Amino acid sequence: MSEQAKVWTAALAVIGDEILSGRTQDRNVAQVATWLNEQGIRLAEVRIVPDDSGRIAETVNELRARHDYLFTTGGIGPTHDDITVDAIAAAFGVRVVVHPEARAVLEEYYRDRPGGLNEARLRMARVPEGAELIFNPSTAAPGVKIGNVYILAGVPNIAASMLQALAGRLAGGRPMVSVTVGARAAESEVAQLLRETEEAHPGVAIGSYPFFKDGGYGANFVIRSEDGNLARVTGEDLAERLRAAGYEPVEGGI
């Protein structure tokens, strides 16, 4: 068994009435989760909160204390409903200031565009005092880092671009490795076998994800561990046990 190393954890706060109203399908949870796995950081919890300063500040303070990192998405655009920066400044008990570098980038970007750098656009240069910027190639408006809090855009491809700018720059542990084995088995037929496999390999978690596809039932079994070798060995063991029980295991899943 491997030595117990520190498990690095992060939380994500998704900010936006449009997610809670059902109008917009969130895409950031899956994308931040996948990116964090690559950094060796585990997404430990997510909260989706409305565009309400008090609720945002409360959530930010609770989550940044509890985890190594907190990411937020949403609410950093130019309109009146973009209140994330103000709410997070309040959470840290600091003022909101215009960041000179952010202002310079926006001035450059809007120099030849209709309307120029108006008051609304200048909002996107506002940061909690003491914050750093997260530059990204896809838009002029940067993300913001203060303490262990990373403030990202809500539009998924802009958030992706900010994550890319941060890749490899956060301390983390080993990436989580997952091995998937599929079988044309109703999960309720192999539940005991799964439980035994998990118990035989301390340090792995096995998830069972049933599906109905091409006219038949089946399930994918996902073995996750920070110990890649352990995950692989467990996958082979599970495949063997499935075969012994009369099911054809499919490496990589169905």
Report the interface residues with a copy of itself, using CB under 8 A: 14, 17-27, 29-34, 36-37, 42-51, 55, 77-81, 114-115, 118-121, 123-124, 155, 176, 178, 186-189, 191-192, 194-195, 198, 205-210, 222, 224
Q: To the nearest whole angstrom, how small is the minimum distance from the Cβ of residue 130 to a copy of itself? A: 26
Pick the closest to residue 16 from 67, 63, 76, 78 (CA basis): 76
Looking at the Cβ atoms of 88 and 153, the one nearer to a copy of itself is 153
Looking at the Cβ atoms of 189 and 237, the one nearer to a copy of itself is 189
Looking at the Cβ atoms of 5 and 120, the one nearer to a copy of itself is 120
Q: To the nearest whole angstrom, how small is the minimum distance from the Cβ of residue 30 to a copy of itself? A: 5
Sort 11 into a burial class: Cβ within 10 Å, 0-12 / 13-18 / 19+.
buried
Looking at the Cβ atoms of 64 and 146, the one nearer to a copy of itself is 64
Q: To the nearest whole angstrom, how small is the minimum distance from the Cβ of residue 2 to a copy of itself? A: 19
Looking at the Cβ atoms of 20 and 94, the one nearer to a copy of itself is 20
Q: To the nearest whole angstrom, how small is the minimum distance from the Cβ of residue 146 to a copy of itself? A: 23
Q: To the nearest whole angstrom, how small is the minimum distance from the Cβ of residue 228 to a copy of itself? A: 15
